[in-house]
Structure 1
Amino acid sequence: MCSAIAVNAPVGVMDSGVGGLTVLKHLTRQLPHEHFRYFADSAYAPYGNKTTAEIQQRCFSIADTLITQGSKALVVACNTATAAAIAAMRERYTLPIIGMEPAVKPAAAASKNGIIGVLATTGTLKSAQFAALLEHYGQGVQVVTQACVGLVECIEQGQLNTPQTVSLLQQYCQPLMAAGADTIVLGCTHYPFVKKQIQEIVGPEVTLIDTGAAVAKRLQQVLEQKKILNTARDAGNFVFLTSGTEETERVMHQLWNAE
């Protein structure tokens, strides 16, 4: 039972690669006394071009690793993995599992002209979960979606401000700007790492929204409900794990220490 889990056990955080570090930053700010184990599945990134079965297999494998290390809860810090695998994970495991979803609801509330842009992976945009979000929260607004093929790969290599990355961002932001979007959802956890570059392209009047803060608040609620919130006053620690190479580890530390 969850009540038997040690409150000082770590929370496992998983992503297809380094993108979930943007979520981990929100988690450590919201829950500074919790311990975290972060797994970047960079050897298999990106998930956006993989089948549902392939993504589920990877998520099961990573979850098994994090649970073996004593995790008391899991955060699937990846929109594509959440869409493809979180239902199957919740059937398979008994511990709390928190997922991601593109912030269509807050974007609809924030938009002044009712035109919302969504930057995301192909896998997220094609998912039933995203279709359900549009059905529930997209009524009365125009939602313009853009799949960002190749962008995750650039960020995985730590290329945040290179000509190639900026060119991709300009290419993918252009349709949203042409449609008149005044609010843009960053629908992949990798994308906040290039938020500054996106803002420069679309202009300061466009609002950019990601879901990291909301996920952190949700995790806190769940830990409190399950009575497994770490009540210690010492600062928590975090450990980085990856299926990738030493280069992945270098990029992880580069991005974690970046402003």
Structure 2
Amino acid sequence: MSTSSNPSPAPEATTPGVIGVFDSGVGGLTVLRALQTQMPGTALHYVADTAHAPYGPRSADYITERSLRLAAYLQDQGASLLVVACNTATAHAIAALRQRWPDLPIVGTEPGIKPAVAASLARVNGSAGRGRIGVLATVATIASARYQDLVSRHAEGIEVFSQPCPGLVDLIERGQLDTPELHALLERLCQPLRDARVDTVLMGCTHYPLVQGPLQQALGPAVQLLNIETAVAQRAAALWSEQAKPLPTAHSLRLETTGDAAQFQRFVQQVLGWSSAQAAGIQV
């Protein structure tokens, strides 16, 4: 497998009407589920880069290189709109993706600082909040300039407590969605947010909604827990409707992974309940 950091531009799409979606692993399936809900009947092609997951501990250059490769592959397979269903890849690579393919509609997945601030302020006005939000995210997302810019632009007058979550994506990728090890890790990660007395917590990684129940339990019932998958799907739907030419849609879902296809398929079938889903292994 080539490791060049400058993949060649993808050929012209030969099969119109496909939305390409990628993530470091299974987390982006939460975005995929929202896309199916928002855009029923639209052909979706999802790639889980499981062989290179998690992205959180990786360098910015590595994350960008993988993102460029996956985007080129999806376009080669017919995608005419791209959804980066990964907060970490969005934080480090979306600028490079848009520079490489300026005419390709690309939707990123970013921590929703602005809606989290609005939700917290609404609770303050209703006497249920303190104007303090927590953000659970990967180490790489929190360290990125894009994340810091979001906080500086949208969190004026609000205290933001950024909580890195090393190890959480690993457990979710291994299917540990309700185990003692998961609960113990969530307790450790949420303790600083409980100590800070936050009223609203944002899940800043698409993996985390897969353990939303245990997360809410660890935070306590008084804390409002937010995700952003619906907003991402709505943005993708808006861009899709703006395509210059109407593109045909079809009831199809293509699932691929750079890792173990059987394991990925079991995860999709068991966790999402998509019993008929099939997955294939690829090298990108």
Same fold (TM over 0.5): yes
Who wins on radius of gyration, i.e. which is larger?
2
The amino acid across from 2:211 in the alignment is V
Aligned twin of 1:109: 118
Does 2:236 correspond to 1:238?
Answer: no
Aligned twin of 1:11: 19
| Contact kept? 1:223, 1:229, Cα under 8 Å | no
Aligned twin of 1:99: 108
Q: TM-score, normalised by structure 1?
A: 0.93
| Contact kept? 2:16, 2:79, Cα under 8 Å | no
Aligned twin of 1:219: 236
Q: Distance in 1 between matches of 2:187 and 2:247?
A: 43
Q: 2:39 aligns with which of 31, 46, 49?
A: 31
Secondary structure of 2:41's counterpart equals coil
CA deviations on 1:222-255 (whole Å, 9 max, x unpaired) are 11222456565x6x32111000113233223322
CA deviations on 1:108-139 (whole Å, 9 max, x unpaired) are 11112100000000000000111111111111
Aligned twin of 1:248: 264
Structure 1 runs (4+) deviating above 3 angstroms are 4-8, 227-232
Q: Distance in 2 between matches of 1:116 and 1:69?
A: 40
Does 2:160 correspond to 1:152?
Answer: no
Q: Structure 1's 154 and 228: CA in aligned 2 closer, same or farther, altered over 3 A?
A: farther
Most deviating of 222-231 and 105-114? 222-231
The amino acid across from 2:259 in the alignment is G
Aligned twin of 1:200: 217
Q: Distance in 1 between matches of 2:28 and 2:156?
A: 29
For the aligned residues, what is the CA RMSD?
1.8
Q: Distance in 2 between matches of 1:231 and 1:52?
A: 36
| Contact kept? 2:14, 2:78, Cα under 8 Å | no
Shift of 1:186: 0.2
Secondary structure of 1:198's counterpart equals helix
Q: Distance in 1 between matches of 2:225 and 2:245?
A: 33
Aligned twin of 1:122: 139
Q: Distance in 1 between matches of 2:22 and 2:71?
A: 8
Does 2:280 correspond to 1:257?
Answer: no
| Contact kept? 2:133, 2:198, Cα under 8 Å | yes
List alignment gaps of at least 5 residues for structure 1. none
Q: Which has the higher contact order (CA 8 A, sep 6+)?
A: 1
Q: Distance in 2 between matches of 1:12 and 1:142?
A: 36
Aligned twin of 2:181: 164
Count of aligned pairs: 253
Secondary structure of 2:22's counterpart equals strand
The amino acid across from 1:19 in the alignment is G
Does 2:76 correspond to 1:59?
Answer: no
The amino acid across from 2:111 in the alignment is P
Secondary structure of 1:72's counterpart equals strand
Q: TM-score, normalised by structure 2?
A: 0.85
Q: 2:202 aligns with which of 185, 204, 208?
A: 185
Q: Distance in 2 between matches of 1:144 and 1:40?
A: 30
Identity %: 44
| Contact kept? 1:18, 1:40, Cα under 8 Å | yes
| Contact kept? 1:157, 1:248, Cα under 8 Å | no
List alignment gaps of at least 5 residues for structure 2. 1-11, 125-129, 275-284
Q: Distance in 2 between matches of 1:254 and 1:73?
A: 28
The amino acid across from 1:153 in the alignment is D
Q: Structure 1's 62 and 5: CA in aligned 2 closer, same or farther, altered over 3 A?
A: closer
Q: 1:209 aligns with which of 218, 222, 226?
A: 226
Secondary structure of 1:39's counterpart equals strand
| Contact kept? 1:7, 1:229, Cα under 8 Å | no
| Contact kept? 1:181, 1:206, Cα under 8 Å | yes
